[in-house]
């Protein structure tokens, strides 16, 4: 029997094999079991961490992209809304002007009406014929009543510096009265203290502005044939009416003035109308009032049809209505009278 003696392990046990600090290798495979496994685990963990980091980054990028898309969509909606509002507001002066709290419900309906006329000196009438208030005197009396504002629409302006009416209009600002004028003749108004808007009627209707009226303090009105030129006050036969203390009619006429006022620098008629330029009264819904202690009905009409806001009666319809309602007579006084004329404007037939 042989008993091995205690010997120190040798560094070389057999050819082709070796041992290093307890690590065992196989000469056939060359696989080091313990250190390579740890290295593989480390590489696998690193790959897992990289995959996780990449996944988190991709999720964050997706969230950022979705957030950016939402921001872009919200911004686009806000821009579209702003453009829509701008288009609506640019169509007309949407809000119009302050009407000083005057409404259809609280306006005054107990009114006084006066006929005013200008008779040229060359015309002679029967001494027993009725005479009415001279036009120049009536307009100056309106200026006496003015405390806040005077709004004038006139097709012609040819008042001379030495004329009394011109001086009265020029002095309104010193009294704290605001003077606003609408005309279609640029550079024809010599009043330095007035706010003037010019309406390009040629571009709008291929016609002329023939309206002539005053609105004083949204309370008194003048409507007539006379324009603001010296001939109308001295050489021409003119006729008109002045209505005092009638804020209902003044409110309605002021809305027509406001529409004219907003047409400056425009070459088209807006398609969107403000409530502050729509009609208060019309042929189908006239104002019921007292004129010189007599029950009456009234409304304001206008023309052409392009200038008729919602609810506004056309001049032609108003004239037809008056003719149909006549029971005994019809008196007509006009500058030109040619009742049967067939015309067309922008494809619409017009029969007068």
Mean pLDDT, 10 residues at a time, over the chain (352 residues)?
A: 41 41 43 52 61 68 74 79 64 50 83 93 76 91 95 87 83 93 79 86 85 95 91 88 96 92 83 80 92 94 87 91 93 74 54 52
Tell me, what's the pLDDT at 150? 96
Count of all residues that appear for the chain in the document: 352
Contact 212, 227 (CB under 8 A): yes
- For residue 124, the SS3 value is coil
Tell me, what's the pLDDT at 177? 94
Using CA atoms, how far apart are residues 92 and 78, in angstroms rounded to an integer?
A: 22
Tell me, what's the pLDDT at 318? 93
Question: Could you say which architecture CATH assigns to the domain 110-120+132-312?
Answer: 2-Layer Sandwich (3.30)
The two tokens of residue 316 are 């032609």
Q: Residues 271, 273, 256, CA angle at the centre, nearest 5°?
A: 115
| CA distance between the termini of the chain | 151
Instruction: Supply the DSSP symbol for 341.
Output: -
Q: Exposure of 133 by Cβ count < 10 A (0-12 exposed, 13-18 middle, 19+ buried)? A: middle
Tell me, what's the pLDDT at 105? 79
Instruction: Supply the DSSP symbol for 219.
Output: T
Tell me, what's the pLDDT at 193? 84
Tell me, what's the pLDDT at 341? 55
- Residue 305: CB atoms within 10 A of its CB come to 15
Among 218, 221, 232, which Cα is nearest to 165's? 232
Using CA atoms, how far apart are residues 227 and 158, in angstroms rounded to an integer?
A: 9
- For residue 8, the SS3 value is coil
The two tokens of residue 187 are 């550079």
Using CA atoms, how far apart are residues 283 and 286, in angstroms rounded to an integer?
A: 6
The two tokens of residue 14 are 């057999």
Per-residue model confidence as pLDDT tens digits over 53-106: 667 766 777 777 777 777 777 777 888 777 776 655 554 443 445 556 777 778
CB contact set of 109 (below 8 Å; sequence gap of 6+): 246, 248, 287, 288, 289, 290
Using CA atoms, how far apart are residues 212 and 223, in angstroms rounded to an integer?
A: 6
Using CA atoms, how far apart are residues 152 and 140, in angstroms rounded to an integer?
A: 13
Domain chopping of the chain, boundaries = 42-91, 110-120+132-312
Residue 226 backbone dihedrals phi, psi, to 5 degrees: -80, 130
Token look-up 């002679």 returns 124
Tell me, what's the pLDDT at 94? 38
Tell me, what's the pLDDT at 97? 55
Per-residue model confidence as pLDDT tens digits over 296-343: 999 999 998 888 888 899 999 999 999 999 999 999 888 776 665 555
pTM for this model (two decimals): 0.69
Using CA atoms, how far apart are residues 291 and 102, in angstroms rounded to an integer?
A: 20
Tell me, what's the pLDDT at 87? 58
């Amino acid at each position: 029997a042989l008993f091995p003696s205690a010997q120190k392990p040798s560094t070389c046990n057999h050819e082709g094999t070796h041992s290093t600090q307890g690590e065992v290798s196989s000469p056939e495979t060359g696989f080091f079991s313990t250190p390579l496994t740890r290295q593989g685990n480390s590489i696998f963990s690193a790959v897992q961490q990289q995959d996780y980091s990449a996944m988190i980054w991709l999720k964050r990028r997706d969230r950022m992209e979705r957030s950016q898309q939402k921001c872009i969509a919200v911004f686009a909606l806000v821009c579209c809304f702003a453009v829509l509002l701008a288009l609506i507001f640019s169509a007309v002066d949407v809000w119009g002007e302050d009407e000083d709290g005057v409404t259809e419900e609280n306006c005054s309906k107990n009114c006084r009406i006066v006929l005013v006329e200008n008779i040229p000196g060359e015309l002679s009438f029967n001494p027993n014929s009725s005479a009415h208030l001279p036009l120049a005197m009536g307009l100056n009396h309106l200026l006496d009543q003015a405390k806040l504002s005077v709004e004038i629409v006139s097709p012609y302006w040819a008042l001379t510096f030495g004329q009394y009416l011109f001086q009265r209009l020029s002095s309104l600002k010193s009294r704290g009265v605001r003077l606003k004028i609408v005309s279609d003749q640029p550079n024809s108004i010599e009043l330095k203290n007035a706010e003037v808007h010019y309406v390009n009627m040629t571009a709008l209707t291929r016609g002329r502005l023939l309206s002539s009226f005053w609105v004083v303090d949204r309370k008194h009105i003048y409507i007539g044939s006379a324009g603001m030129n010296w001939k109308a006050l001295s050489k021409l036969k003119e006729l008109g009416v002045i209505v005092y203390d009638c804020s209902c009619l003044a409110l309605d006429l002021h809305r027509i003035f406001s529409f004219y006022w907003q047409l400056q620098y425009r070459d088209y008629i807006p398609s969107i109308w403000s409530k502050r330029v729509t009609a208060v009264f019309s042929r189908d819904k006239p104002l019921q009032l007292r004129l010189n202690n007599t029950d009456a009905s009234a409304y304001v009409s206008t023309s052409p049809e392009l200038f008729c806001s919602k609810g506004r009666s056309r001049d032609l319809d108003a004239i037809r209505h008056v003719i149909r309602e006549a029971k005994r007579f019809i008196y007509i006084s006009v500058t030109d009278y040619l009742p049967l004329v067939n015309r067309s404007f922008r494809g619409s037939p017009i029969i007068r």
